[in-house]
Structure 1
């Protein structure tokens, strides 16, 4: 089974089954159960947001289950049709993860501020080794779907 098919299967299995815990005081959420992963999301304003999600859940779902603390994040709800969940991963995490699919790479080509460690949060599936990982949200994002709908984009 191809890695991306396996990851999609995992996402379907775990989608919506957990509620992310959120801490805005710079500390990981307390009382995290086994099978959970703490992630620090550095928001556009630089403030750390600690969240907890379950292993197998996507970073996008963790953020959305925390009541969407990042404005405009995940506009397409994980359908891989926008770049609003674009994040920068630490180098070591980027290298350890599976390679992005062609579909993800195509969307990343449209992302504002693309970097070597860019990924889409809807494609980042939490694993136990990610506990404590710091993920940065780019300062700027663009949802090209809205431009196309408004007739501002040719194509």
Structure 2
């Protein structure tokens, strides 16, 4: 008989407050195709298709977008390398930011009033065709002299 640990003691489970932490959103019938525009720190715009409910960190990883250092903790809410900046109008329509996410944002360089962490941000219809700015990554922000 196999020994099973209670869920809270299973070492392979990751901590996160995201509503959805999966590679793909579960198919619940036809969905409207949404898009989001990522704009890197150099102003390059990258438009990618996305489904409602899809996690922004996983979206960046799925499309292999070249944002150096982005999502170093792989969504465990232990760093701030998936820092994103939203338009005020979009930010105000989202669910409130959790205390854990606010704690991580306090450690972020260049944080704004509309900053969010990609690992905690899931696509909504309000974000369709909107711009999301990816500030200069943590790994790029330090240049040795």
Aligned counterparts of 2:134 and 2:64: Cα–Cα separation in 1: 16
Unaligned 5+ segments in structure 2 are 1-15, 141-145
* Partner residue, 2:91: 94
Report how far residue 135 of structure 1 moved. Answer: 0.4
Q: Is 1:124 aligned to 2:109, yes or no?
A: no
Q: Which runs of 5+ in 1 are unaligned?
A: 1-6, 19-32, 144-155
Q: Counterpart in 2 of 1:57?
A: 54
Distance (Å, rounded) in 2 between the aligned partners of 1:135 and 1:17: 20
Residues 18 and 121, structure 2, Cα contact 8 Å, conserved in 1: no
1:142 deviates by 5.7
Q: Larger relative contact order (C-alpha < 8 A, sep ≥ 6)?
A: 2
- What is residue 8 of structure 2 aligned with on the other side? none
Query: In 2, Cα distance between the equivalents of 1:9 and 1:86?
Result: 15
Name the residue aligned to 2:136: 139
Matches within 5 A, 1:74-89: 74-89=71-86
Task: Return the TM-score normalized by structure 2.
Answer: 0.75
Q: Which residue of 1 aligns with 2:38?
A: 41
Change beyond 3 A, Cα 1:92–1:86: same
Over 3 Å counting, the alpha-carbon distance change for 1:56 and 1:8 in structure 2 is farther
The higher radius of gyration belongs to 2
Does 1:17 find its partner at 2:24?
Answer: yes
Alpha-carbon offset, residue 8 of structure 1: 4.8
For residues 127 and 49 of structure 1, the distance between their equivalents in structure 2, rounded to whole angstroms, comes to 18
TM-score, normalised via structure 1 length: 0.71
Provide the residue aligned with 2:9 in structure 1.
none
The 3-state SS of whatever aligns with 2:20 is helix
Shift of 1:67: 1.1
Equivalent in 102, 107, 114 of residue 110 of structure 1? 107
Shift of residue 111 of structure 1?
Answer: 0.2
Runs of 4+ aligned structure 1 residues displaced above 3 Å come to 7-10, 33-36
Name the structure 2 match of 1:149: none
Bigger helix fraction? 1
Figure out how many residues of one structure are paired with residues of the other and give that number.
Answer: 121
